[in-house]
Amino acid sequence: MRVEQISVFLENKAGRLAEVARILAEAGINIRALSLADTSDFGILRLIVNDNNKAKEALKQHGFTVGKTDVVAVEVEDRPGGLHRILDVLYRSNVNVEYMYAFVQQSGSNAVIIFRFDNLDEAVKVLQANGVPVIEGEKLYAM
Amino acid sequence: MIHDLEFETLPREALQAIQLRRLQAVVERVYAMVPFYRSKFDAAGVTPADIKTLDDLRRLPFTMKQDLRDNYPFGMFAVPMDHVVRIHASSGTTGKSTVVGYTARDIATWSSLMARALAAAGTTRGDIIHNAYGYGLFTGGLGIHYGAEKLGASVIPISGGNTKRQIMIMKDFGPTILTCTPSYALHLGEVADEVGVDFKELKFRAGIFGAEPWSEQMREEIERKLDMSALDIYGLSEVMGPGVSVECIEAKKGLHVFEDHFIAEIINPETGEVLPYGEMGELVFTSLTKEAFPVIRYRTRDITSLNPEPCICGRTHLRMNRVSGRSDDMLIIRGVNVFPSQIEAVLMEIKEVEPHYQLIVDRVGNLDTLTVEVEIGETGFSDEVRVLQTLEKKISKNIKEFLGVSAKVKLVEPKTIARSEGKAKRVIDNRKY
């Protein structure tokens, strides 16, 4: 019930993001979802791709610092109140969200939200107990 | 104004006779009291009895900063601890700082020499001295302080920091002499501007600035912006502290070395060969009168030259020119001595980062800034911003704790720090002196 996410350290200077995109393109990696957290000095690019190991190797070869983290992907109805319902469930169960980002599936009716939790196992249990659909990694990479 | 007319204007022959007598005494004393010197002299095949002329000083081995570190903390003291009344130390990681001691007589000597230095800038009993050198283990604050009291001037022991309050005190107390680092003097000028205080309306006559290298351009800037005469003072804790040499207000051209207490030499830092007057090289000091912590041919790593020409002020003591650089990689940041190896030692203690780093020194406004760029590898990397920012803060805090200097820490990608021939360029100093 977990999804692998890779994260890349980026200095806050021109061309770094483009460089990552170029390396991934050359390695034939397809990006499923991404988010960029930034401070005045550095950024952390988080990516869900179709082939984590290949992406990680390609980036490392080019000198990037790359990390791997487990996150949770959740399907949410693409309509008002969809997100609120999930966050409410988590809040009531005292599950903290470190960060999250979302994307809308090509097929249309559902959105996917990626959550990074402090306590992943506990979070998955809470989500499932409340009938929130959690997506398998394999399914997400192939979307 | 000459504080000690007799000793500061001694004819050269008489001065040299005093130097020789004192040199013989100190060499004999360190040989008897400090195992380090005894074994060094023995290894060099020289005994105190061999010192028959001042030229024989050259037969004695040099003392390096590393020797002081090796004998940390009190191994170089030449008196029992119950004779030591004061201890100072340079900043540094544990085991790496240099510790110096003073007997009551050393403090009296130091106070007299600082009184001479203050008088050379025209300070008299009636003056109020605003002393913004740091008080503490650093010799700057207390050195000036005791000299000011010895001279009979009033001293405001304001120490460093809290600049706006300093400006208020300057306005209210009307100090006439300013003592601090030259960069802090300029910073005071800027802050005064911000709070609408004009230095021209303050009562300052002169400032005595030291503890970091500065230039003639900075002198002009300070004199223009702060409306006072700006003089250079030199000293280092290993030799005594401030008051080893100072400029006279009459000439403002080179710093008179108080030669009845110190012998200055200039050497080629590569070969150790003594260079003639006028040639640039590394400054070496031998203390002649210190009891607790005498130094024999101590290599300061400061690069300058000596000028024996008579001075219009009447002092017969020769002058050293402004320090123009270092023969090692020491940086002086806001008056604090920083070696890249000390930063490295701090980084080595933090397992999350690679020991690949670069120091970027700059001057923003008039204050030195230190940025430490550290490469972040997989060990310390996290997908969470908070974790990386905590890491930056931790490094910065450790540097502050161990070295006493504030640094901004910036994580950078691996291999971004330029490596030339496998050896990283550790320091980029963008300051202009």
Torsion of CA B20, B25, B26, B28, to 10 degrees: 120
A106 to chain B, any CB pair closer than 8 A? The answer is no
The yes-or-no verdict on residue B258 having pLDDT over 50 is yes
CB-nearest to B383 from A7, A10, A39 is A7
* Closest Cβ–Cβ partner in B383, B410, B413 for A69: B383
- The nearest CA of chain B is from the CA of A71 a distance in Å of 11
Name the more confident of B31 and B419.
Answer: B31
Confidence label for B433 from pLDDT (cuts 50, 70 and 90): low
Residue A37 one-letter amino acid: A
Closest CA to B263 of B309, B310, B318: B318
pLDDT at B96: 66
B52 or B340, greater pLDDT: B52
Interface of B with A in 340-379 (CB under 8 A): 376-378
Whole-number Å distance between alpha carbons of A94 and B403: 43
CB contact under 8 A, B383 and A5: yes
Answer with the residue of higher pLDDT: B425 or A104: A104
The alpha-carbon gap from A13 to the nearest alpha carbon of chain B, in Å, equals 10
Res B418: pLDDT:
66
Residue B389 in contact with partner chain A when CB distance is under 8 A: yes
Q: Is A41 in the B-facing interface, judged by CB distances under 8 Å?
A: yes
> Which residues does chain A have with pLDDT short of 50?
none
Interface touch A65/B382, C-beta < 8 Å: no
Per residue in A85-111, pLDDT (tens digit) is 999 999 999 999 999 999 887 666 788
Q: Does A5 touch chain B (CB under 8 A)?
A: yes
Calculate how close chain B gets to A2, using CA atoms only, in Å. Answer: 16
Query: End-to-end alpha-carbon separation of chain A, Å?
Result: 16
Please report residues of A whose CB lies closer than 8 A to that of B392. 41
B383–A67 C-beta distance less than 8 A: yes
| Residues B167-182, mean pLDDT to the nearest whole number | 96
Q: Quick one: pLDDT at residue B95?
A: 47
Cβ <8 Å between B389 and A39? yes
CA distances from B324 to B159, B234, B267, B292 (A): 27, 12, 15, 30
* 3 state DSSP class of B16: helix
State whether residue B38 sits within 8 Å of chain A by CB. no
* Across A16-30, B132-146, B316-330, least confident range: B316-330
Probe site for chain A from B356, B383, B413 (most A CB atoms < 10 A): B383
**Is ipTM > 0.85 here?**
yes
Partners of residue A39 in chain B, C-beta under 8 Å: 385, 389
| Residue in A65, A98, A116 nearest the CB of B413 | A65
CA of A40, closest CA in chain B: separation in Å? Answer: 10
User: B381–A63: do the CB atoms touch at under 8 Å?
Assistant: no
Nearest to B1 by CA among B82, B120, B105, B118: B120
Q: Which residue of A has its CA nearest to B410?
A: A41
Q: Is A11 on the interface with B (CB under 8 A)?
A: yes
* CB within 8 Å: A9 and B384: no
User: Is this prediction's pTM over 0.90?
Assistant: no
Each residue of B209-256: pLDDT tens digit? 998 888 888 899 899 999 999 999 999 999 999 999 999 999 999 999
Task: Report the gap between the CA of A3 and the closest CA in chain B (Å).
Answer: 14
- Per-residue tokens: B61: 């081995």
Q: CA of B376: which chain A residue's CA is closest? A: A65
Q: Give the C-alpha separation, B376 to B371, whole Å.
A: 15
Residue of A nearest to B377 (CA): A65
Looking at chain B, which residue has its C-alpha nearest residue A10?
B413
Residues of A in contact with B378 (CB under 8 A): 65-67
- Other CB atoms within 10 A of residue B58 CB: 12
Report the C-alpha gap between B246 and B264 in whole angstroms.
14
The strand order across the sheet containing B325-326 reads B262-267, B281-287, B298-304, B325-326
- Give the H or E element holding residue A32: strand A31-38
Per-residue confidence at B93, pLDDT binned at 50, 70, 90? very low
Over 70: is that where the pLDDT of B136 sits? Answer: yes
For B140, the enclosing helix (H) or strand (E) is: helix B139-151
pLDDT at A108: 63
The answer to whether the Cβ–Cβ distance between A116 and B383 falls below 8 Å is yes
Question: CA torsion B198→B201→B206→B210, rounded to 10°?
Answer: -20
**Lowest-pLDDT range of A76-80, B90-94, B109-113, B424-428:** B90-94
What per-residue confidence (pLDDT) applies to B91? 64
Among A16, A44, A67, select the one facing B385 at the smallest CB separation: A44
- State yes or no: pLDDT of B92 exceeds 70: no
Taking alpha carbons only, the member of B7, B46, B47, B83 closest to residue B315 is B7
Using a CB-CB distance cutoff of 8 angstroms, which residues of chain B are in contact with residue A10?
413
**Percent of chain B surpassing pLDDT 70:** 97
In this predicted structure, the answer to whether residue B79 has a pLDDT above a threshold of 70 is yes
pLDDT in tens, B21-39: 999 999 999 999 999 999 9
Lowest mean pLDDT among B279-293, B314-328, B353-367: B353-367
pLDDT for residue B155 is more than 70: yes
Return the residue matching tokens 């990037």.
Answer: A64
A65 closest CB neighbour out of B381, B384, B392? B381
pLDDT at B335: 81
A63–B412 CB contact, under 8 Å: no
Show residues of chain B in contact with A67, CB under 8 Å: 378, 381-383
- pLDDT confidence of residue A106: 67
**A137 to chain B, closest Cα gap in Å:** 18
| A35 in reach of chain B (CB within 8 A) | no
